[in-house]
Amino acid sequence: MNTRDARLDVDLIGAIGARVPVPLVLHGSSGVPDDGLRAAIAAGISKVNVATHLNGVLTRTVRGTLADDPALVDPRRWMGPARDAVADEAYRLLRLFAGE
């Protein structure tokens, strides 16, 4: 997903969580806004998959870095900012998931 406007059925997540004895996993969370992720966790989601979202952060950062300097060829120069952007977003998401 390229947008973060997906809506989850939080009541259904809660109902499923109340009926099954296993942790619930949210697959495909990349299109869910922050408030939806927090609501899903509050309703019983135990694991949130974020790989596609983080891949998007990395890719957008690489594209931006290369667009800013088209002569750039050293991958250490364009991967460093991308790595840092992913680390920052992962940290932000962990804090979000913890309710901070």
pLDDT digits (tens, 9 = 90+) for 55-96: 999 999 999 999 999 999 999 999 999 999 999 999 999 999
Q: Quote the pLDDT of residue 3.
A: 86
The structural domains of the chain, with segments of one domain joined by +, span 1-49, 50-100
d(CA 21, CA 18): 8
pLDDT digits (tens, 9 = 90+) for 10-47: 999 999 999 999 999 999 898 999 999 999 999 999 99
First-last CA distance in the chain: 26
CB 58 within 8 A of CB 38: no
Q: Quote the pLDDT of residue 78.
A: 94
Token pair listed for 3: 């947008």
